[in-house]
Amino acid sequence: MQTRKLGSSGPDVSLVGLGTNNFGGRIDRAAARLVLDKAFDLGITLIDTADVYGDKGGSEEILGQLLGPRRQHVVLATKFGLPMDEAGKLRGASRRYVMQAVEASLRRLRTDWIDVYQMHYPDPATPIDETLRALDELKQAGKIRFVGCSNFSAAQLEEAQSAAGRQHLVSFISCQDEYSLLERELEKDRLPVMQKYGLGLLPYFPLASGLLTGKYRRGAPLPPGSRLANSARHADDLLTARNWRTVEALSAFAAARGRTLLELAMSWLASRPYVSSIIAGATRPEQVEQNLAAIGWVLTPADLAEIDRITL
């Protein structure tokens, strides 16, 4: 397994990470165990979750039950900030809530520390200075080791990093954002800020909810049980005429070189030096194997130029 540093100052992580948003939701504990065991067998060291995954706490609870002694051998990342109750009171990034949320995650994960504690979304109701001070306290107490963010705009990211520097507080080492051959918007504004501060990128939805695996066909019924079949909102967002044209062109590009669309999607992300680890979810062990095998294609400069022509 290839490894990379998470940003300029974080821990080493496997180039392919395991996203566990399916744990406690689409798959139960027994199925999750099979996926997790396969990830360990193949050398995956970054496990990513969030407090809201698995119907609010389910993913963290399953990981807490399954990791056991293996906990010390992984970089465990989770997130806070999205609503954890129907009333919307358990949410946000105030000091009060951060302190409450981290204790709940530690309890569910059955661990004494979180390796990368990530702010799931910006909180417009809380000054970023307050959030960073709370996270700094948690780091000083040994409850978290590094902090990251997710879904920040370029301006919000700049504000957070500047505030951390001015006040000598813990600063973000990573950004988790949607990034794939079908979603490259962050290259326009967020990526320069990430590179300025040496932040590692953790792409989520690297396969565009399966659209970049080759299992969907224009005009054909969505495969039963697939993510897009189960989520009309995601299907409406992704199954656009532009995306179909792009996917078909990428499929032809890969096929002409004796490769699959999955190999192209994963290897293209692996070719980006600012990508620290590709967060790939799985519901079956064989998907973990496929995701790992798919990063072996070394794309040439000519390949990358043609991919840009197709996708930009």
Could you tell me the two tokens for 247?
A: 């996917």
Closest CA to 225 of 24, 19, 16, 22: 22
Q: Which residues pair with 176 in a beta bridge?
A: 150, 202
Helix, strand, coil fractions of the chain, as percent rounded to 5: 50, 15, 35
The verdict on whether 53 is a catalytic residue reads yes
Two structure tokens written together for 55: 């119907």
Angle between helices 154-167 and 128-140 (to 10 degrees): 50
Q: What is the largest CA-CA distance in the chain?
A: 56
Report how far residue 33's alpha carbon sits from residue 285's, in angstroms, rounded to the nearest whole number. Answer: 9
The whole-angstrom separation of Cα 67 and Cα 90 is 26
Residue 101 parent element (H or E):
helix 95-109
Strand partners of residue 4: 13
**115 close to 127: Cβ distance less than 8 angstroms:** no
Q: Which helix (H) or strand (E) holds 238?
A: helix 232-238
Catalytic residue among 53, 97, 204, 216: 53
The DSSP result for 14-74, as a single string, is: ESEEEE-TTBTTTB-HHHHHHHHHHHHHTT--EEE--TTHHHHHHHHHHHHHHHGGGGGGS
The residues that are catalytic are: 53
